[in-house]
Chains A and B, each alone.
Chain A
Amino acid sequence: MQIRQILPQIVNQTSWDQAADEDRFEGYLFALVIEAARKENANVRFENRNGPFNGIATFRTSPGHLWSDIHPYTHAVIEFAGKPPLEAHVGVFISGRSRLYHEADVAVVTRSVARTCRADRVDPPYSEAVLLIECKYYASDPGIALGRAFLGLSAECGKEHCVFVTNQRALRLQKLFEEHGREWGHQILPGQNNDVDRLVGFAQRAFTRYKAR
C-alpha cells in the first residue's frame, strides 16, 4: 500500500494532530464570521490584545480570558454604519445564565463590553453576545455526548445566537438539534459551498438582527 510511504512523510512535515486540526477549524470559522460581516457591509480590521495588528494572527489553542495579555491575541473589530462596533474573538470564556463559565470557540461581543473586560479583567456575559460558535473538528462522526453538551451550552448562553459547527455530516446530532430547536452547521469545509453558505447566512442574520436593534 503506497499510503505506507507517503503518510509518515506528510505527518512529519507539520502539526497533524487532533488539537491542531481543531485550532485550524476555529481559525477558519473566525474567518467565515468575518466574511459574513463583510457581506453585511461591515468595515473589518484586525487588532492585537496589546496593540496594532502585526501581520501574524495569533489565536488561542484552548479557551482563555478575553482580557489575557500573555500573548498578543488577535481579534477583529467589526463596524456597521451608525451602530456601536463589535469584536470577534477566538476561544474565550463567557459567563452563562447561571453565572458559570463556558467556552466559546468563536464569540462576537460588543466592543464596549470587550473593552470593559480588558480594562477590568472580567469576562463577557452571554447577554452581550451577538454570536457564539461551538466548533468541533472530528476525523469521524462526533458522538452524541457533544450534542448533549451543546444543548446545555446553548440553554445557558441563549439558543438564538449559539450554533454548533462541525466538519462532519453528524446525522445523529442534526436530529437532536432539530428536535430541540438548536442551530447547527454541518460539513463545514472548503468546497462544501451549500453548507458553508448556510452557516455564513446564519452569521449574517445575527449581524442583521444586531443592526436592527
Chain B
Amino acid sequence: MTSEEIQSTFRELAEIVTTSGLGWILSQVDETVRGGHAVEKPTKIFKEEEQETVFSFNAEQQAPRRGGKPTALMTLEPWPERDQLLFLIDAIRQAVIHAAAVENEQLRLLRSTADVEGVSFMPEGEVTDRGAFRSTGAHDERVHALARMLNELEREVRS
C-alpha cells in the first residue's frame, strides 16, 4: 500500500468504526499512537564546565561532550502511519472477534463445573453507566466473516 492508500484506508476504517458505535476503539488507538514508542538512542553527554561560559543555544551542538562510550538515553518516536493502521485493524479484532471468543470460552469453562445456562452481568449500584447484559455465547457467522475481512486487509497493508 502507498502512503496515500494507508491514510485513506485509516480514515475510512475510523469512520466505519465511529458510525458503528465503536468510537471507544478509536480513542484507545489514538492514545497508543499519541504515546509513541520508546527507543534507546546512543548519546554522548556534554562535558560539565566548571563555570558557565556565555551560553548559546545555537552553538549547543558544538559544545564538548564526554569521552568514552555513548550512554543509551530514551526518546519517544512517533508510530509510522502503517503501524497506526495496523493498530486500528487489530483493535477491531480485539474488541469484537477476540471478545466473542472470550465469551464462548468463558461459558465452555464454566460449563465444565456446573450446568451453566448463561452469564449475567449486573451493576451493584443503581446509579451506573454500565448496564446489565447477559451472555449466552456469540455464534454469529458474521463475526467469522469480519475476521476474514480484517485478515485480508492486514495482508494488504503489510504487502
A residues contacting B by CB (< 8 A) are 1-4, 6-11, 13-21, 23-25, 27-28, 30-32, 34-35, 38, 44-46, 53, 55-65, 68, 70-71, 73, 76, 137-141, 143-144, 167-168, 172, 189-191
The CA-CA distance from A194 to B98 in the complex, in Å, is: 17
A-B pairs with the 5 shortest C-beta distances? A64-B124, A31-B109, A139-B91, A190-B105, A140-B28
Docked complex: B15-51 residues within 8 A CB-CB of A: 16-17, 19-22, 24-25, 28-29, 31-32, 35, 38
A-B contact pairs, 18 of them (CB 8 A): A1-B12, A3-B146, A4-B12, A11-B96, A16-B22, A25-B102, A27-B135, A28-B102, A28-B105, A31-B109, A45-B114, A58-B119, A58-B122, A137-B99, A139-B92, A140-B94, A167-B102, A190-B102
Docked complex: B67-117 residues within 8 A CB-CB of A: 87, 90-92, 94-96, 98-99, 101-106, 109-110, 112-117
Interface residues on B, range: 35 or more
Q: Let me know if B98 and A28 touch, CB within 8 A.
A: no
Q: Let me know if A2 and B149 touch, CB within 8 A.
A: yes
The CA-CA distance from A28 to B102 in the complex, in Å, is: 6
B145 within 8 A of A: yes
Q: Let me know if B110 and A31 touch, CB within 8 A.
A: yes
Pick from B92, B102, B118: contact of A24, CB under 8 Å: B102
B157 within 8 A of A: no
Q: Mark B128-139, 1 if CB is under 8 A from A, else 0.
A: 111111110010
Which residues of chain B have C-beta atoms less than 8 A from A18's C-beta? 24, 28, 95
B53 within 8 A of A: no
B residues contacting A by CB (< 8 A) are 12-13, 16-17, 19-22, 24-25, 28-29, 31-32, 35, 38, 87, 90-92, 94-96, 98-99, 101-106, 109-110, 112-125, 128-135, 138, 140, 142-143, 145-146, 149-150, 153
A-B contact count (CB 8 A): 199
The CA-CA distance from A55 to B121 in the complex, in Å, is: 14
- Closest CB in chain A relative to B147 CB, distance in Å: 10
Which residues of chain B have C-beta atoms less than 8 A from A55's C-beta? 114-118
The CA-CA distance from A18 to B31 in the complex, in Å, is: 15
Pick from A14, A53, A57, A140: contact of B32, CB under 8 Å: A140
Q: Let me know if B87 and A62 touch, CB within 8 A.
A: no
Q: Let me know if A140 and B133 touch, CB within 8 A.
A: no
Which residues of chain B have C-beta atoms less than 8 A from A6's C-beta? 142, 145-146, 149
Q: Let me know if A138 and B28 touch, CB within 8 A.
A: yes
Which residues of chain B have C-beta atoms less than 8 A from A167's C-beta? 94, 98, 102
4 more CB-based (< 8 A) A-B contacts, given A18-B28, A60-B123 = A10-B146, A17-B24, A21-B102, A140-B25
The CA-CA distance from A172 to B116 in the complex, in Å, is: 38
Pick from B31, B110, B138: contact of A14, CB under 8 Å: B138
**A24 and B135 in contact (CB under 8 A), knowing A139-B25, A191-B101?**
yes
